[in-house]
Amino acid sequence: MVAARNDASMTRENRIEAKAAGILYVVATPIGNPADVTLRALETLREADLIICEDTRRTGMLLSAHQIKVPMLSNFEHNEARRLPEIMSKLESGARLALVTDAGTPGISDPGFRLVRAAREAGIEVNAVPGACAAIAALSIAGLPTDRFTFEGFLPAREAARIKALEVLRTEPRTMVFYEAPRRLREALADMAQILGGRREAAVVREITKTHEETIRATLSDLAEHFRKQDALGEITIVVEGASELERVASHQSGVTVQALVEAGMSIKDASTVIARLTGASRREIYQQAIRNRSETE
């Protein structure tokens, strides 16, 4: 909303100057099935002066398949800051640039955000050429509420940081969408079941739009058990049901009850065990919430 207001408030002279400068096109590309590329995306790539891409080899295959011969410039996580001045100079000189990543929509857990922000701040016109996005595609077929959702991207690789991130989301009421690497799927699902609750409905969508696309929908406990026994391959998106009103209330009340038992002389550990037996909730979850509550009040 802020960006829209800033654009609207530009003077006529600034708008003319921005139009005279270059244009940055943010172009979505297929996430697996090459037939998912749009006609507009192909037209934009053909007419670009330069294509900014994550991996010139991957993008080169797409261009070759459609007989597109346009120069490419790599722009990935480790050189993005260094490339920015060079790319901005081209835009300010009037070049029409197309930004793509290896697959999907640029900037969605992929490079692109810094360039788009810099272009906006410089008054460069930025246009979207929409298309495939794994998060939205998986959400659309997961069978979970789609009216409100939150995209969480990749969870931290380290266990302690991952658990901390999930604890923040424990009472999130919206459907949650995650990306995950195959080698970490087993641990991620086990932590989700433990912290978010094993009875939560979820879906693991693997290799979406590709030949071996697979969607497994079950509770987090069942999914964790399934992938404990079976390795996962390919690109993975996880869609998880949000917390119910009852879960949010129970989470709050369990913390209050633990506090009351502690004030009566119990240890936090013993109080958490008692509440877990009474409510059926995770003792670990109750204990960790009690520790957080105590830290906030100290």
What are 127-153's pLDDT values in tens digits? Answer: 999 999 999 999 999 999 999 999 999
Q: Compute φ and ψ for 194, nearest 5 degrees.
A: -70, -40
Whether residue 253 has pLDDT greater than 60 = no
Whole-number pLDDT of residue 255: 56
Instruction: Supply the mean pLDDT for the chain.
Output: 87
> Residue 296: its pLDDT value, please?
58
Which of these, 296, 294, 261, 263, lies nearest to 276 by C-alpha position? 261
Predicted pLDDT of residue 267: 87
State yes or no: pLDDT of 248 exceeds 80. Answer: no
**What residues have CB less than 8 Å from 294, skipping those under 6 apart?**
268
Determine the pLDDT at residue 8: 44
Give the pLDDT score at 1.
Answer: 45
User: pLDDT-based confidence at 9, cuts 50/70/90?
Assistant: very low
| Beta-carbon contacts of residue 108 (< 8 Å; ≥ 6 apart) | 133, 135, 151
Pairing of strands 23-27, 96-99: parallel
The model carries a pTM of 0.78
More confident residue, 96 or 13: 96
Does residue 247 surpass a pLDDT of 70? no
Does the pLDDT value for residue 16 go beyond 80?
no
Residue located via tokens 């901390």: 164
Q: In terms of DSSP bridges, do strands 214-219 and 201-206 run parallel, antiparallel, or are they unpaired?
A: antiparallel
Looking at the predicted structure, is the pLDDT value of residue 201 above 70? yes
Mean per-residue pLDDT for 98-113? 94
Furthest C-alpha separation in the chain: 76
What is the spatial distance between Cα 68 and Cα 71, in angstroms, rounded to a whole number? Answer: 10
pLDDT at site 94: 96
Q: What are the tokens at 114?
A: 């810094």
Long-range contacts for 67-76 (Cβ within 8 Å, ≥24 apart)?
A: 68/42, 70/45, 70/46, 70/98, 75/99, 75/111, 75/115, 76/111
Query: Which of 3.40.50.300, 3.30.950.10, 3.40.50.970, 3.30.1360.70 would CATH assign to domain 135-243?
Result: 3.30.950.10
pLDDT at residue 277 is higher than 90 = no
Which of 216, 214, 163, 217 minimizes the C-alpha distance to 188? Answer: 163
The pLDDT of residue 80 is 87
How far is 261 from 120, CA to CA, in rounded Å? 55
Measure CA of the first residue to CA of the last residue in the chain; give whole Å: 38
pLDDT digits (tens, 9 = 90+) for 55-89: 999 999 999 999 999 999 999 988 988 999 999 99
2-132 has CATH 3.50.50.60 classification: no
